[in-house]
Amino acid sequence: MTTTTMPMLETYPAEITLDRVKLAGAIDALIACAEACTACADACLSESSVAELTKCVRTNMDCADICAATARVLSRHTGYDANISRALLEACAMACKSCGDECGAHANMHEHCRICAEACRACETACRDLLAVIG
């Protein structure tokens, strides 16, 4: 999948103190996870067993919001604050783990939950990889 994330980072006129490849990977994973969680929550609401999926819907919505906010913050570099990025990435990794676990519990019954769980796990990994290189 081709995104504009890396080209935008490559054309940023000032220094970026983070590994641009890891940063781009995290931003792309965050955006993909936010989309998957939003779509999964909507799909859960359309299931006949929706009453059994309320926690999944809530977890999806929380994860989508946290991922989207983290992606937006990581896309801005003027006046960069590593403490804010670190806190958001830690919160995002936790949200992705929680959502991945919740969706994973429904994955054998709902394909959308399986797909979402995979996106959450990939995003959690990308967040942790970027956290490892933040100074």
Domain, as residue range, for 50? 19-131
pLDDT value for 18 = 84
Domain-located, residue 13:
no
Which stretches of the chain drop beneath a pLDDT of 50? none
pLDDT value for 59 = 98
Domain-located, residue 6:
no
Tokens of 62: 């929380």
Q: How many domains does the chain have?
A: 1
Amino acid at 80: Y
**Domain of residue 26, CATH code:** 1.20.1270.360
Please indicate, yes or no, whether the overall pTM of this predicted structure exceeds 0.85: yes
116/40 Cα distance (integer angstroms): 6
pLDDT, tens only, 63-101: 999 999 999 999 998 888 999 999 999 999 999 999 999
Domain-located, residue 10:
no
